[in-house]
Structure 1
Amino acid sequence: MTLSVSQLEEARRALDAPLFADLAGDAQVSFEFFPPKTEKMEATLWQSIEALAPLGPRFVSVTYGAGGSTRERTHATVARIQRETPLAAAAHLTCVEATREEIDAVAEEYWAAGVRHIVALRGDPPSEGARFVPHPGGYENAAALVAGLKKLHPFEISVAAYPECHPDSTDVQADLDNLKRKIDAGATRAITQFFFAPEAFFRFRDAAAAAGITAELVPGILPVSNVAQTRKFAGMCGAAIPAWMDRLFEGLDDHPGARQLVAATVAAEMCRKLYAGGVREFHFYTLNRAELSFAICHLLGLRAKSAAQSAAA
């Protein structure tokens, strides 16, 4: 990891001063949600959106289930965010089990609903553990999907990146080559899969720069409160969970409040180290809960704005 002079000064200040003292509030954030399955989950989702909106995120994104299993719910959630809130909504779109025409039609519906930002992904196979096989009439990968979307409209497009290498990639270089193809096809930025060591992101950032990737790389942050669930997620995307994290959460199953505090502390400390290394954009995987992400953003120096302040801005 190569640090500039200003980053070295910031890193030194992070060590010398209280960890989160008087941060400039210059970080930019975005939040990811998933479409709710029940009325209760829908209520929780909208409470979370309302709680996080005053932090002024650049955008909020809504995920898309394997094989398009949540297509209608994703579309309804994205359209409602776009229609009823001041937030910029981003819709996830995948290549799985759909023809190009079907995917293009979904993209056209988003454009018609005022959505200008797509998170373009290859997507996971519907059957867990199965290998991805392109649909005979579909987009073969995320780079092809990005190119196809760009032919339809001037969408802002985010793609995925993998600091610790995608499980389907043969090696790190092949993974970087794939990311470069997505950027070259017209993607605006890459959002990383979650990770738990700042060094993983810094190494990836340096390797991407060496590979000629100049697009914005945004670290994806997953505040962990359920280690078993996180382990399942990590197994699907190649993220390493350090042994100390297992030990840290031991004995907290029956103490949800304490577990939240520990989770916020761990994620916030990593974000502070990323900030010291020059990172100013963060993408939070909220799991439709606001508290952890809100707390970390607050520690990073962001402050909620009133409706009047947001309108003035």
Structure 2
Amino acid sequence: MKLSDLFIKGKTLVSFEIFPPKQSVTLESIFKTTEGLQTLNPDFTSITYGAGGSASDRTIETADKIKNTYGVEALAHLTCINSHKDDIDLMLNQLQAHNIENILAMRGDYPINKNNNKGTENTYQYAKDLIAHIKSNHDFCIAAAAYPEGHPECPDLNTDLFHLKEKVNSGTDFLITQMFFDNAILYDFLDRIKQVNITIPVSAGIMPLLNTKQVGRIKGLCGATIPKPLQNIIEKYEHSPLDFEKAGIEYACSQITDLVANQVDGIHLYTMNKLEQSKTIIQQTNLR
């Protein structure tokens, strides 16, 4: 099923993001986590894609397991940076052969410690180009990433909104936001996209802070604002890991409860492959 058909029903969708393990780790580890998450009856599960197309076979295998073994719709991530156009089409054809109907199309990041100067003639340089290609040549429902606080590489919010509009006009069916920790930021973002006539569904990306290491990574990854209430939690429990995790879960739950009350289109939980913590969040928010 194409996920765009689910959004039409008008309820708040619930979805998870997982990532396949490193090549040195067996896929059985993620399958155990995946099986546990699917018992929570999500509307779909997204599977990340290796930088520059690395480990793409693991994305396919995991998506296949979710869709064809557990019967849950799979949203396969696909990035285009540093990937040859022919490799992109090969990946798309393989996904289609496994009955995967939904793609999250992104530019992606360059692989670490690899030559990033492969040339641009046979690659898609931006997500909008990848989206346009998929829409014109394949039959997928296409999701794209949105940044409520603006993409880190964009000089200002208006420029970011311009590029988001380009992605939508290229054929995006719905959006999934980057993580945010202040719901007011999302509500402001939703108002801004309406002003430029972006009317497709938006699923709100929620990442629970479970340990102090995440804080630095998140700031480096997307520059998400840490509001005062969350900063207080970080400072209060930075030397107490169990209390930090509990407080982080409670904070994520409070975000979700407010978002659902305000009738957002979807809640997309960045699980970090944490099964028990994800279960707790879903149960405490009565999402399932």
TM-score per shorter chain, which class? Answer: 0.7 to 0.9
The range that moved more, 50-59 or 249-258, is 249-258
User: 1:195 offset after TM fit, Å?
Assistant: 0.5
**Unaligned 5+ residue runs, structure 1?**
1-25, 304-313
The range that moved more, 115-124 or 236-245, is 236-245
Code of the aligned partner of 1:89: A
- The percentage of counterpart residues that share the same residue type is 35
* Distance across 1 between alignment mates of 2:273 and 2:200: 28
Q: Residue 103 of structure 2 aligns with which residue?
A: 118
Equivalent residues of 2:233, 2:244 under 8 A apart? no
Q: Residue 77 of structure 2 aligns with which residue?
A: 92
Q: Residue 205 of structure 1 aligns with which residue?
A: 190
* Distance across 1 between alignment mates of 2:19 and 2:258: 28
Query: Mapping of 1:42-191 within 5 angstroms?
Result: 42-127=27-112, 135-191=120-176
Q: Residue 200 of structure 2 aligns with which residue?
A: 215
* Distance across 1 between alignment mates of 2:242 and 2:265: 29
The range that moved more, 283-292 or 76-85, is 76-85
CA 1:109/1:90 → structure 2, altered by over 3 Å: closer, same or farther? same
TM-score by length of 2: 0.87
Equivalent residues of 2:181, 2:227 under 8 A apart? yes
The range that moved more, 81-90 or 206-215, is 81-90
CA 1:85/1:135 → structure 2, altered by over 3 Å: closer, same or farther? farther
> Relative contact order (C-alpha < 8 Å, sep 6+): which is higher?
1
Q: Tell me the alpha carbon deviations over residues 12-56 of structure 1, each in whole angstroms, 9 at most, x when there is no partner.
A: xxxxxxxxxxxxxx5320100001126867444223222221332
User: 1:124 offset after TM fit, Å?
Assistant: 1.2
Equivalent residues of 2:206, 2:269 under 8 A apart? yes
State the Cα RMSD in Å.
2.4
CA 1:294/1:207 → structure 2, altered by over 3 Å: closer, same or farther? same
Code of the aligned partner of 1:236: L
Equivalent residues of 1:125, 1:132 under 8 A apart? no
The range that moved more, 289-298 or 205-214, is 289-298
* Distance across 2 between alignment mates of 1:65 and 1:47: 20
CA 1:262/1:30 → structure 2, altered by over 3 Å: closer, same or farther? same
User: 1:84 offset after TM fit, Å?
Assistant: 1.6
CA 1:154/1:268 → structure 2, altered by over 3 Å: closer, same or farther? same
Code of the aligned partner of 1:233: I
Q: Tell me the alpha carbon deviations over residues 77-104 of structure 1, each in whole angstroms, 9 at most, x when there is no partner.
A: 2222223211111111011111211111
Code of the aligned partner of 1:217: V
- Aligned residue pairs total 277
Say which of 230, 233, 248 aligns to 2:233. Answer: 248
Q: Residue 219 of structure 2 aligns with which residue?
A: 234
Secondary structure of the 1:137 match is coil
CA 1:157/1:224 → structure 2, altered by over 3 Å: closer, same or farther? same
Q: Quick check: which has more Rg, 1 or 2?
A: 1
Code of the aligned partner of 1:67: G
* Distance across 2 between alignment mates of 1:172 and 1:121: 19
